[in-house]
Chain A
């Protein structure tokens, strides 16, 4: 037990984790303040405009944060978008294994790069839904009183359905995260080599040696690794 140590791989930059977690916080705030208008028992949250105020405040970071990230990290953004919208033969194979993967079976998964096919689908859908939910939200916010019955219904349906898409995506995202013990990667920015081998072998092969760090198991588990291998 004394010599326990493991190799970790850097997966997310601090800025990416920050965007992710603020995104989580604002998304959940928007979801629950918005759902007050859909679920009658929660209507009391909306009375007097409480949920409306919270909803409007949360819009600011929700919309500005991704924009700020895109402006500050154009290279990573471009990479992410290109990767997320490029589907290969391996990805199609991966989708065939998706039902088994959903039930905890990783054996026989075709080798995946940095982003696996499920994550690609998740990213691509999230990106599109984000645009729709934000656009329809602005229509609802600034068009109030001028939309007419059909305009209101269209904007609200787009808003509801894109939010449904995002919420189901989030549930699936959380599901796979917990199922395959992936939460740490977004908390610390690192994943274990074992995990990378299981989920992203193609990515692991392409990584430069300095992407690895050795972490002692005796230390605090949540603290960031200090020693870097040469």
Chain B
């Protein structure tokens, strides 16, 4: 089985320094106006009982990725557990921006923009820029099993200080490729407890889209085949009706002048 990679972000270690954001931008040559990842402060509670932490807005590399399932061109795809981007294939349709439960992908400069997991580095056996740069070693990257195990160990370690600490992403959406070591419940960070690919989205992808194409092709096939039968029938009927002198078929009187039907049979031959 192929390797399954994953990130983890330890919010007990994160100091909110934005080094990962800068490293990502620089390393991936992301335009100034765009960004693959973002870190912002969150403060909850009333004085004097504050709770402060950092929320990371970035791709979760979902096991069952809604963006990949709606992407019509294959610009978004899965590679060893990571959701990777082929900008050249992108049509900027924007389906991914609406389908993602975390509102991560966005359209910039006529193509999709989101964390690309520094695929070139990973393929060379190195860690992505954010993980390499993090000064407090809050961001890790590696094989998912090992990353998950170490995340669980970390949660156990900080449990005394943060009783609500948990690993976010072990099971959600087929298991996320970014495991968050949260100090509080997911809702505190604005993360959905049980995100899912909605039934409607699945109905659209699994039923409506194939049915639309399939029924159209069926209609083409059915009309194509029955045309041969129907055309023959129509021509027989047409020949029979106006020309009793020629065929005397069905004993019907002439409704149309014979020269007309002669002209039509000429036309018919021309039409093949």
Chain A: residues with CB nearer than 8 A to chain B?
Answer: 1, 3-4, 6, 35-40, 43, 46-49, 51-52, 102-107, 144-154, 156-157, 160-161, 163-164, 167-168, 171-172, 174-175, 178-181, 192, 194, 197, 217
Contact = CB atoms under 8 A, between A and B. Distances in A.
A194 B70 CA distance: 52
A25 to B, nearest CB: 19
B216 A149 contact: no
Between B70, B198, B230, the greatest number of chain A beta carbons within 10 A of the residue's beta carbon is seen for B230
B237 A107 contact: yes
A217 B262 CA distance: 11
A38 B212 contact: yes
Interface stretch (B4-12, B97-105, B145-153, B165-173): B97-105
Given A43-B89, A51-B91, A52-B92, A38 B98 contact: no
B160 interface: no
Contact of A149 (B99, B215, B242): B99
Contacts of A192: 260
Contact of B198 (A4, A38, A43, A150): A150
Contact of B89 (A35, A47, A51): A47
Contacts of B66: 149
A171 to B, nearest CB: 5
Given A38-B72, A46-B93, A168 B216 contact: yes
Given A43-B74, A152-B98, 12 more contacts: A1-B262, A46-B72, A48-B90, A52-B93, A102-B230, A103-B226, A104-B229, A104-B232, A106-B234, A157-B200, A179-B234, A181-B264
Given A104-B233, A104-B234, A152 B92 contact: no
A80 B27 CA distance: 63
A167 B216 contact: yes
Contacts, number: 154
B90 to A, nearest CB: 7
B230 A104 contact: yes
Nearest to A6: B260
Interface stretch (B47-55, B121-129, B134-142, B202-210): B202-210
B201 A152 contact: yes
A217 B263 contact: yes
A105 to B, nearest CB: 6
A145 B212 CA distance: 24
Nearest to A180: B234
A108 B255 CA distance: 15
A156 B204 contact: yes
